């Protein structure tokens, strides 16, 4: 019943891998779940679910026109713009994140490309600050030059986040101010500087099943594969072109995670944006299918996240099987 995905197939071209991804995606839901969970168990410890905290260090006014984003200057979203935070602001946020049990701290900036000069120096100081707390450090600052990537690496940065977002084919329907190859190039630059890669995408942009599979295939074809793969469920933002994008079935989100888990067995797959729209059961299904990280805290970058208390309850259910609120309480 398990697909025998050979090493050869794993190292294949994105288009060949996309066929494999589609074949997996279209399996019976339970067969796919079974296979993904089997892969998950053989590569990861079940209790290893990483908690990360996000902080928007520079908010809004971005020159890119990403159709989903609250921070693009091309859309009227009413978001309050905020210039680059101070290192002390970041220190306070990292202190709080550590207290909340985070293992990784990720800073996001609404830049098309990371700036040069004082602002970049400040970001390097922020990275050093995160590392002084013993947390993994990740940043997402837009496009990078090799020299910038090397400076970030020297400051102690572990990972660089830069998402492919969707398939190569669908990409121009979502973003017109940069190309898919620009994205892949920044990933190459970050890798060349010795940073680990965090790259994933968004489900719910109106994309087809084929687009989802092609995106996972593009990621899986990177050699080496990204160590971290965030799968975001679109947070629809009023004022963006995608504010009324069609809803996604939970099974489709879970199928995408399962395919990512099978094709990138060693990567950390992150159940990222959109948890606030998922029931506890849906999130548990995503974790069963191979996700092994979540963002914690009340905010993602600009949109709300699941409450810490709800996450604690979810982890308690996982650990003990003590389902709060019994079936009979639910009126059955």
Q: Which residues bind ligand SF4 (CB under 6 A)?
A: 62, 64, 66, 69, 71-72, 110, 142
x/- mask, ligand DTB, residues 29-68, rule CB under 6 A, reads -------------------------x--------------
* CB of 9 or CB of 252, closer to ligand SAM: 252
Supply angle C-alpha 232, 235, 240, rounded to 5.
125
Stretch that binds ligand SAM, among 81-89, 128-136, 161-169, 317-325 (CB under 6 A): 161-169
60, 108, 204, 265: which one binds ligand DTB (CB under 6 A): 108
The answer to whether residue 54 forms part of the interface with ligand SAM (CB under 6 A) is no
Pair of tokens at residue 295: 């963002």
The residues that are catalytic are 62, 66, 69, 106, 138, 198, 270
N-terminal to C-terminal alpha carbon distance within the chain? 35
DSSP β-bridge partners for residue 299: 304
Considering Cα of 309, then 314, then 319, then 324, what sign does the dihedral take? positive
Mask for 205-244, x = binds ligand DTB (CB under 6 A): -------------------------x-x--x---------
Which sign does the torsion angle of CA 93, 95, 98, 100 carry? negative
- Told to check if 235 binds ligand SAM by CB under 6 A, we report yes
Closer CB to ligand DTB, 33 or 294, in the complex: 294
Give, as ranges, the residues between 266 and 325 that touch ligand SAM (CB under 6 A): 273, 301
Q: Shortest Cβ distance from residue 78 to ligand SAM (Å)? A: 14
Q: What is the DSSP string of 201-268?
A: EEE-SS--HHHHHHHHHHHHHSSSPPSEEEEEEP---TTSTTTTPPP--HHHHHHHHHHHHHHSTTSE
| Binding residue count for ligand DTB, defined by CB under 6 A | 17
Task: Tell which one of 72, 129, 140, 148 touches ligand DTB (CB under 6 A).
Answer: 140
| C-alpha gyration radius of the chain | 19
Q: Is 278 among the residues that bind ligand DTB (CB under 6 A)?
A: no
The structure tokens listed for 87 are: 């290192």
User: How far are the Cα atoms of 103, 272, 300 from residue 296, in angstroms, in the given order?
Assistant: 10, 9, 8
Strands, DSSP E only, in the chain?
A: 50-58, 104-109, 136-140, 159-161, 196-198, 201-203, 228-233, 268-271, 291-295
Q: Does residue 272 interact with ligand DTB by CB under 6 A? A: yes
Query: Should residue 68 be labelled a site residue for ligand SAM when binding is judged by CB under 6 A?
Result: yes
Q: Which is nearer to ligand SF4, 35 or 64 (CB)?
A: 64
Residue 97 burial (CB count, 10 A)? 24
Q: Which residue among 165, 207, 211, 218 contacts ligand SAM (CB under 6 A)? A: 165
């Amino acid at each position: 019943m398990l697909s025998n995905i050979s090493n050869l197939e794993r190292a294949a071209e994105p288009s060949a891998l996309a066929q494999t991804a589609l074949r997996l995606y279209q399996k019976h839901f339970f067969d796919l779940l079974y296979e993904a969970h089997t892969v998950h168990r053989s590569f990861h410890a079940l209790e290893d679910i990483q908690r990360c905290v996000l902080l928007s260090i520079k908010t809004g006014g971005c020159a890119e026109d990403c159709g989903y984003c609250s921070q693009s200057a091309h859309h009227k979203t009413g978001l309050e713009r905020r210039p680059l935070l101070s290192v002390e602001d970041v220190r306070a946020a990292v202190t709080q994140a550590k207290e909340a049990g985070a293992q990784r701290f990720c800073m996001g900036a609404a830049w098309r490309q990371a700036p040069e000069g004082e602002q970049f120096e400040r970001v390097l100081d922020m990275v050093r600050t995160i590392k002084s707390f013993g947390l993994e450090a990740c940043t997402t600052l837009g496009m990078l030059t090799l020299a910038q990537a090397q400076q970030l690496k020297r400051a102690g940065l572990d990972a660089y986040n830069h998402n492919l977002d969707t398939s190569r084919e669908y990409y121009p329907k979502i973003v017109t101010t940069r190309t898919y190859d620009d994205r892949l190039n920044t990933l190459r630059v970050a890798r060349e500087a010795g940073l680990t890669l965090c790259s994933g995408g968004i489900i719910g942009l109106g994309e087809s099943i084929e687009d989802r599979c092609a995106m996972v295939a593009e990621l899986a074809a990177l050699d080496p594969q990204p160590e971290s793969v965030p799968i975001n469920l679109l947070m629809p933002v009023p004022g963006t072109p995608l504010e009324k994008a069609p809803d996604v079935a939970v099974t489709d989100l879970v199928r995408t995670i399962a395919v990512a888990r099978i094709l990138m067995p060693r990567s950390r797959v992150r159940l990222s944006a959109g948890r606030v729209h998922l029931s506890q059961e849906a999130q548990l299904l995503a974790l069963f299918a191979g996700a092994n990280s979540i963002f914690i805290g009340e905010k993602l970058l600009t949109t709300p996240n699941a409450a810490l208390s709800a996450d604690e309850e979810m982890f308690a259910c996982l650990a003990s099987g003590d389902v709060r609120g019994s079936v009979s309480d639910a009126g059955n």
